[in-house]
């Protein structure tokens, strides 16, 4: 069974793994097969396991370069953190058991579509990793790190043969350093996270209306007047690019134009397309000076960023500024341009010429797609698979971001089920599908800061990474969540802060070193999905993001688990443990309000949570009653039941910009009660 397809293996593995060590009590790491994300394309489980101890060593053979040596050292450091064994000192390299063979170099600048495949063979005595180039090696090392687990004997990796390669060549994460400045250190630790889940494109967005956050030597007033003092120096940018290259990650810069550009006009008002530059957010597409400026600027940035792709944004242009400007109206009349879209198309053609003259391939958001748009331009779709399909049918390569907007507080499962060639793109022909390059998770920072960014990106982005790397058939959501929990823990060894943020922010909100009752509430609430947050609180780019809706993860694990239990109870399929767990949780929630209220009044950041806490208590009270009635098989009055359902429905409405996630599950219990 060499290279078995994954779909069958996922279900085959649990049994195989249980057989590895008879009598071995299963821990969380083993409830699920190969706790790896993304799941490799081909897996053949072996027998036994390889033990990691202080004599562990790893040697490079074949093609060598400093990047490989650094990857090896980084691997040892991560493995040391994973195990607590100081392997980075390499006590014994007399006979390394882990041999890495690299056939040859990769491109001097990492190219889209380069070979990322690797072959990893783990026996009880030896490990072999082979790859065509350093990128494949980097991928294989990460798989190994995820396989490490603790057993009664030692840290081990299971014997296995893995043949792996990605499904899509473009697997990205956008970090928006335009709305809010994100320090380079935060960028770097997220590049470590990207490496861990085999993402290979860092889409770095530098400017928006709120700020211009990169140094231009050609036009220094951009950062001097537009950044509030916070911008990346070009040396810092080069450092990040090198850091990304070490991890097999390309860096595609985005300079969004002609709109979202108010911050450019702080230093260069002559670029503005509105009559009053200080109120303007769109560039003037009608003046030759604009293009002369952009030609110089794009040359500078194209030289700074070695990648072949160059993103010029192009999204969400509001034509009002243009059509309200008599000079631009005049131009449009003179050139027979009938609307803003036409004007933007003209702008796009000019920019595409400039970008092409720098030997770069232009990328843009959906809006740059016009009948006359040159076919090599890559369309990044924020509008959905229909829009992506339209771009691809008309001959463009496309990248999907719709469905991967990790700032919108959707569940990992929702993101996971979005496929770049699914939904509206499913009917593409296979040659059209080949133009779907992949997808990108987007970390917009309108209402996320560098402080809480990690808990928006991780662990959910690992689910998106799996969608983009692993076979399309892989769709088991339970398996995904089981593995996601383990990967989430492993990401801690890369310095990611997603698991620390909530507690730290809760402590700050209360001034208490361990505000347990607030933690209980925090575990069952979520910020509302999609764009509802902005409707519930007004946000500017100076708004402190230090409330509970900023602190909690986008997805409540507790609420999801409680929901699964409530479903089983309602269906009569619950175990005694389920009943016990439901009872325990509901009691905890019912009794929490009395402990939490005295805490809430002490801090201006928690006072708004009082009604939410009361609601949790009342919802839990209803839940306990329903649970009890179900257990005793008691009949309840239709009227009382309806009253409870009404209350539960009402309590689903956001309060303090948070949704109480357990109310729908309690409703399941109430609905399951038999009426008189």
Return the active site residues: 316
Instruction: Name the 3-class secondary structure at 319.
Output: coil
* Sole window of 102-110, 262-270, 425-433, 507-515 interacting with a copy of itself (rule: CB under 8 A): 507-515
Contact 57, 90 (CB under 8 A): yes
| Distance of alpha carbon 456 from alpha carbon 226, whole angstroms | 27
Binding mask 226-265 for a copy of itself (x = CB under 8 A): --xxx-----------------------------------
Smallest CA-to-CA distance from 554 within 489, 622, 498 is with 498
Tell whether residue 9 is a contact of a copy of itself (CB under 8 A). Answer: no
What sign does the CA torsion over 519, 523, 527, 528 have?
negative
Q: What angle do CA 642, 644, 648 make, to 5 degrees?
A: 115
**Burial grade of 645 (CB within 10 A; 0-12, 13-18, 19 or more):** middle
Tell whether residue 560 is a contact of a copy of itself (CB under 8 A). Answer: no
Residue 162, Cα to own-chain centre: how many angstroms?
25
Which pairing describes strands 211-212 and 250-254: parallel, antiparallel, or unpaired? unpaired
Give the residue with the Cβ less far from a copy of itself, 250 or 498: 498
Q: What is the CA radius of gyration of the chain?
A: 27
Tell whether residue 580 is a contact of a copy of itself (CB under 8 A). Answer: no
Q: Compute how many other C-beta atoms are within 10 angstroms of the C-beta atom of residue 386.
A: 13
- Strand ranges (E), 27-97: 42-52, 58-62
| Distance of alpha carbon 644 from alpha carbon 640, whole angstroms | 6
Q: How many residues bind a copy of itself (CB under 8 A)?
A: 53
* Sole window of 143-151, 364-372, 563-571, 629-637 interacting with a copy of itself (rule: CB under 8 A): 143-151
Binding mask 186-215 for a copy of itself (x = CB under 8 A): ------------------------------
* Sole window of 20-28, 240-248, 413-421, 610-618 interacting with a copy of itself (rule: CB under 8 A): 20-28
Q: How far is the CB of 230 from a copy of itself (least distance, A)?
A: 7
Give the residue with the Cβ less far from a copy of itself, 8 or 73: 73
Tell whether residue 296 is a contact of a copy of itself (CB under 8 A). Answer: no
Tell whether residue 83 is a contact of a copy of itself (CB under 8 A). Answer: yes
- Strand ranges (E), 366-449: 378-381, 398-400, 436-443
Distances (CA, A) of 230 to 223, 269, 297: 8, 20, 19
Give the residue with the Cβ less far from a copy of itself, 378 or 600: 600
Q: Binding a copy of itself by CB under 8 A: which of 475, 558, 583, 603?
A: 603
Tell whether residue 518 is a contact of a copy of itself (CB under 8 A). Answer: no
Q: How far is the CB of 86 from a copy of itself (least distance, A)?
A: 6
Tell whether residue 508 is a contact of a copy of itself (CB under 8 A). Answer: yes
* Sole window of 130-138, 197-205, 223-231, 433-441 interacting with a copy of itself (rule: CB under 8 A): 223-231
Tokens for 47?
Answer: 């027998």
Give the position of tokens 């619950």. Answer: 574
Q: Compute how many other C-beta atoms are within 10 angstroms of the C-beta atom of residue 492.
A: 15
Tell whether residue 513 is a contact of a copy of itself (CB under 8 A). Answer: yes
* Sole window of 188-196, 289-297, 497-505, 660-668 interacting with a copy of itself (rule: CB under 8 A): 497-505
What sign does the CA torsion over 344, 347, 352, 358 have?
negative
Q: How far is the CB of 82 from a copy of itself (least distance, A)?
A: 7
Q: Which residues bind a copy of itself (CB under 8 A)?
A: 25, 27-29, 54, 81-86, 88-91, 149-154, 228-230, 449, 451, 485-486, 488-489, 492, 500, 504-505, 507-513, 542, 544-546, 550, 598, 601-605, 607
């Amino acid at each position: 069974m060499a290279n078995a397809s994954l779909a069958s293996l996922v279900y085959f593995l649990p049994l195989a793994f249980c057989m590895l060590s008879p009598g071995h009590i299963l821990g969380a790491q083993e409830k699920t097969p190969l706790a790896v994300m993304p799941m490799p394309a081909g897996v053949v489980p072996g027998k036994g396991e390889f033990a990691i101890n202080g004599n562990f060593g790893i040697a490079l053979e074949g093609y060598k370069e400093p990047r490989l040596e650094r990857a090896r050292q980084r691997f040892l450091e991560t493995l040391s953190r994973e195990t607590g064994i100081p392997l980075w000192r390499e006590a014994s390299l007399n006979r390394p058991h882990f041999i890495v063979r690299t056939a040859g170099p990769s491109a001097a600048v990492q190219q889209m579509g380069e070979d990322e495949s690797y072959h990893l063979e783990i026996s009880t005595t030896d490990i072999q990793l082979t790859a065509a180039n350093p990128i494949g090696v980097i991928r294989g090392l990460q798989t190994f790190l995820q396989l490490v687990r603790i057993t009664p004997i030692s840290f081990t990796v299971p014997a296995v043969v893995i043949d792996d390669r990605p499904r899509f060549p473009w697997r990205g994460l956008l970090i928006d350093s335009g709305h809010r400045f994100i320090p380079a250190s935060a960028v770097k630790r997220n590049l470590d996270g990207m490496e861990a889940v085999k993402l290979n494109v860092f889409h770095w967005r530098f400017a928006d209306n709120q700020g211009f956050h990169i140094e231009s030597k050609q036009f220094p007033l951009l950062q001097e007047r537009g950044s509030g003092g916070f911008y990346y120096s070009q040396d810092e940018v080069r450092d990040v690019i090198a850091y990304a290259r070490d991890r097999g990650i390309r860096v595609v810069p985005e300079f969004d134009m002609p709109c979202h550009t108010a911050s450019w006009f702080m230093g260069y008002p002559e670029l503005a397309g509105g009559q009053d530059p200080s109120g303007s957010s769109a560039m003037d597409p009608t003046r030759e000076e604009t293009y002369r400026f952009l030609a110089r600027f794009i040359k500078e940035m194209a030289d700074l960023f070695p990648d072949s792709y160059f993103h010029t944004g192009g999204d969400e242009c509001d034509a009002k500024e243009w059509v309200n400007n008599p000079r631009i109206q005049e131009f449009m009349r003179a050139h027979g341009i009938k609307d803003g879209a036409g004007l933007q198309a003209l702008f796009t053609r000019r920019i595409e010429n400039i970008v092409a003259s720098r030997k770069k391939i232009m990328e843009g958001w959906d809006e740059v797609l016009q009948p006359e748009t040159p076919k090599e331009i890559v369309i990044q779709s924020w509008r959905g698979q229909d829009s992506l399909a339209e771009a691809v049918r008309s001959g463009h390569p496309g990248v999907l971001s719709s469905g991967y907007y990790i700032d919108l507080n959707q569940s990992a499962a929702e993101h996971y089920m979005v496929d770049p060639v699914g939904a509206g793109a499913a009917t593409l022909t296979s040659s059209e599908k080949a133009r779907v390059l992949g997808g990108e998770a987007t970390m917009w920072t309108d209402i996320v800061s560098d402080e809480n960014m990690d808990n928006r990106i991780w662990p959910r982005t690992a689910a998106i990474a799996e969608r983009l790397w692993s076979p399309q058939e892989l769709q088991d959501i339970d398996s995904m969540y089981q593995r996601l929990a383990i990967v989430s823990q492993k990401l801690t060894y890369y310095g990611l802060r997603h698991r620390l943020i909530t507690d730290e922010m809760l402590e700050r909100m209360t001034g208490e070193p361990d505000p347990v009752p607030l933690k209980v509430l925090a575990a069952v609430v979520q910020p509302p999905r999609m764009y509802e947050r902005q409707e519930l609180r007004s946000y500017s780019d100076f708004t402190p993001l230090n409330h509970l809706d900023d602190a909690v993860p986008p997805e409540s694990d507790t609420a999801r688990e409680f929901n699964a239990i409530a479903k089983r109870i309602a269906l009569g399929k619950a175990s005694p443990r389920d009943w016990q767990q439901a009872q325990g949780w509901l009691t905890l929630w019912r009794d929490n309000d009395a402990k939490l209220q005295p805490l809430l009044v002490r801090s201006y950041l928690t006072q708004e949570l009082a009604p939410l806490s009361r609601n949790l208590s009342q919802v839990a009270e209803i839940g306990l009653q329903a649970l009890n009635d179900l257990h005793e098989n008691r009949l309840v009055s239709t009227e009382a039941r309806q009253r409870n359902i009404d209350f539960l429905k009402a309590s689903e409405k956001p309060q303090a910009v948070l949704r109480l996630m357990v109310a729908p599950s309690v409703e399941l219990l109430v609905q399951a009660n038999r009426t008189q």
